[in-house]
Amino acid sequence: MPLLNHLVENSRKTTRTHAEETRAMSKYNSSAGTRQLGTRSSDVDALAQRGYNVGHKIGEGSYATVITAGYADDHGHGVHLACKIIDKAKAPTDFVNKFFPRELEILTKIDHSNIIQIHSILQRGPKIFIFMRYAENGDLLSHIKRSGPIDEKQAKIWFFQMSKALKYLHNLDIAHRDLKCENILLSKRLNIKLADFGFARYCRDDNGREINSETYCGSAAYAAPEVVCGRPYDPKLADAWSLGVILFIMMNAKMPFDDSNLTKLLEDQRNRKFAFRRKLQETISAQAKATVSVLLEPEAHARWNLREILNCAWLRTVEESQTTNP
């Protein structure tokens, strides 16, 4: 099972030992586990030879599957992972030739405490196996569905972590372009891990010139007005809008806009027709509401960028020590 030519296995250092978890997951090497995952036994055997044990399925799309996995090195040190399996034979041509190579390049370049850590990337035939650190507490959307609105103190910490991760990307001239609650993961210690770089791209060309995006990316509910209306857009400022949508959702447990009709969605966005839940109005500070407002600014040129967001009055009370644990 050769590595992709330009990738290095275990390019990110692993931290804690999870040998017990890894051994427990070895039971999934059985034929029953293989049938459940739809993974060929030859793939499972090849992964096992490299120290990987496949687990259970946690997500599936038309040409990608996400499973749990375990990895143990020659010394028995293990780590709990998630593995995204992409079958290029089933994927659209534009994904294989454009988006996926870009995603791989970006994944191997980034390293931030609030971005999901890539463990290794392997290729076997048309299948790519992207192993990443497992986020024990799932995604932000599931958390909100389960627990309801997030209190402002916690929302502020998570928003700060998201903003730091996004500013890190923007400083590298990388835009995410698919920010949404489903792509915000929560670690064992309930810290933010930004994930899914399938639509990420560089914001400068080979000559260093800033370039706008033209591709409609992500989900309409999180998309900025300039993306929804289909005109070229600054992807960094579109990311900032999506961040504002996520902040609104965290504190309200509802979407700011109805995306069932795109014409109506665009009209509501341009007219700022979003409102905090009435029963939560008094529990959310004026500074938090103001932060949402400057991010859900329909005119992109007037919207805050990540430097301005991290310098805003609302985030000044966040202690760095609250946001540094993995």
pLDDT for 37: 47
Beta carbons of 136 and 272 less than 8 angstroms apart: no
pLDDT for 63: 86
Mean of all residue pLDDT scores within the chain: 86
Decide if 206 is catalytic: no
Question: Rounded mean pLDDT of 30-40?
Answer: 46
Question: Rounded mean pLDDT of 261-277?
Answer: 96
Highest mean pLDDT (candidates 15-19, 124-128, 179-183, 317-321): 179-183
pLDDT greater than 70 at residue 292: yes
> Domain 19-133: which topology?
Phosphorylase Kinase; domain 1 (3.30.200)
Residue that has been written with the tokens 């991290």 in this structure: 310
pLDDT greater than 50 at residue 307: yes
What DSSP string describes 74-86? TTS-EEEEEEEEE
pLDDT for 320: 62
pLDDT for 271: 97
Condensed to tens digits (0 to 9), the pLDDT of residues 178-215 reads: 999 999 999 999 999 999 999 999 999 888 899 999 98
pLDDT for 321: 52
pLDDT higher for 33 or 193? 193
pLDDT for 322: 58
Cα distance between residue 61 and residue 67, in whole Å: 12
Q: Which of 178, 234, 259, 268 is catalytic?
A: 178
Question: Rounded mean pLDDT of 81-100?
Answer: 91
Beta carbons of 118 and 81 less than 8 angstroms apart: no
pLDDT greater than 50 at residue 283: yes
Question: Rounded mean pLDDT of 285-308?
Answer: 97
Give the architecture-level CATH label for domain 140-323: Orthogonal Bundle (1.10)
Numbered ranges of CATH 3.30.200.20 in the chain: 19-133
Burial classification of residue 139, based on how many CB atoms lie within 10 Å of its CB (0-12 exposed, 13-18 middle, 19 or more buried):
buried
What DSSP string describes 120-138? EEEEETTEEEEEEE--TT-
Give the pLDDT band of residue 2 (cuts 50, 70, 90). Answer: very low
pLDDT for 32: 39
Residue 236 Cα distances to 173, 184, 204, 212, 268, angstroms: 9, 17, 11, 9, 22
Cα distance between residue 202 and residue 210, in whole Å: 9
Least confident stretch, 144-153, 175-184, 187-196, 317-326: 317-326
Condensed to tens digits (0 to 9), the pLDDT of residues 43-76 reads: 888 888 888 998 999 888 888 899 999 998 777 7
pLDDT for 318: 86
pLDDT greater than 90 at residue 136: yes
Residue 81 Cα distances to 99, 131, 137, 166, angstroms: 24, 6, 13, 23
**C-alpha neighbours within 13 Å on the C-beta side of residue 44:** 23
Residue 270 Cα distances to 18, 266, 267, 324, 326, angstroms: 49, 6, 5, 37, 38
pLDDT for 22: 33
Establish whether 84 is an annotated binding residue: yes
Numbered ranges of CATH 1.10.510.10 in the chain: 140-323
